[in-house]
Amino acid sequence: MKDTITKKAAFVAGIIKENPVFVSLLGMCPTLATTKSVESAIGMGILVILVLIGSNVLISLLRNIIPSEVKIPCYIVVIATFVTIVKMLTQAFIPALYSSLGVFISLIVVNCIILGRAEAFASKHGPVASFMDAIGTGLGYTLALVIVAFIREFIGTGALSFGVYFPIGRAFFLHIFPEQYALSIFVQSAGGFLSLGLVLAVMACYKNIKDDKKAAAEKARIEELKKKKAEELAKKKAEEEAKKAQEAAQKADTPVESAPESKEAPILKPEVKEAI
């Protein structure tokens, strides 16, 4: 049961509580550079998930063999191997996505999210738990990319595109509002900072509201405990005073008995013998 809870917690934590982008603020460079469209963000997320799964599982299997003195170089070699495999497969089967992401596929090797999960989780847990951690962290990273990319593409172009990078047939565009009203700055470099800052601001506002509600509830609970304690003390004091008053009334109603007279033994005077 404990292992099951660990796997579930490892999966959920990477998506929400320990989201690598919105919570840990890791991988900012690819987050800002590969989120000009939702499709490219999904592609980058899928590649990171594949690298995470491969490196986490392999490092978990080798965690008792790799010497602690050279573990970081070994981790980098393992990660670089999977990045090379993913890069070659992307170039062969999805060349449009490969051209769009460019150098950022190779930079997955030095992505602190990948190395961080290898060091913090995979090197200390079994392969199954490490696999679940890789899936959760990868999905959390992909979700963050998609949210930022949606804001940038939606506000910057007024439409969402599909089939431009993935070979799913004919590309099509979902126009939401006229392009003349779009803010093109959001599809430029500055748009990444603006979109990410907007999301972080909304999350901080939500967190502050939640913390305020929690603090108010805790304050109300403390006040209720104080009130309850004061009522208990007042009740106890009233009971003691009533008891004292009852005892005083009983003493006042009880007649005072006179003390019995003490009979003293007569003092025998010694007979005085007259001297003859």
Query: Would the pLDDT of 131 be above 50?
Result: yes
Q: Is 113 exposed, middle or buried (0-12, 13-18, 19+ CB in 10 A)?
A: buried
Structure token digits, residue 28: 């900012």
Q: Which of 162, 155, 159, 149 is nearest to 192 (CA)?
A: 149
pLDDT digits (tens, 9 = 90+) for 14-35: 888 888 999 888 888 888 989 9
Q: Is residue 145 within 8 Å of residue 44, measured between CB atoms?
A: yes
As beta bridge partners, residue 161 has 173
pLDDT at 24: 85
Q: How many angstroms separate the CA atoms of 147 and 199, rounded?
A: 8
More confident: 223 or 258: 223
Q: DSSP letter string over 134-153? A: HHHHHHHHHHHHHHHHHHHH
Three-state DSSP at 217 gives: helix
More confident: 251 or 230: 230
pLDDT digits (tens, 9 = 90+) for 193-211: 999 999 999 999 999 999 9
Q: What average pLDDT score do residues 158-186 get?
A: 87
pLDDT digits (tens, 9 = 90+) for 105-130: 998 988 889 988 998 899 988 999 99
Confidence of residue 1 (pLDDT cuts 50, 70, 90): very low
Quote the distance between the C-alpha of residue 40 and its chain's center: 28
Q: To the nearest whole number, what is the mean pLDDT of the chain?
A: 86
pLDDT at 273: 46
pLDDT at 264: 52
Query: Would the pLDDT of 150 be above 80?
Result: yes
Query: Would the pLDDT of 161 be above 70?
Result: yes
Instruction: Tell me the CA distances in angstroms from 87 to 34, 42, 94, 225, one per residue in order.
Output: 15, 15, 10, 62
pLDDT at 201: 94
Helix (H) or strand (E) holding 238: helix 189-253
pLDDT at 148: 95
Structure token digits, residue 166: 């993935």
Q: What average pLDDT score do residues 224-234 get?
A: 90
pTM for this prediction: 0.78
Q: What average pLDDT score do residues 91-99 get?
A: 93
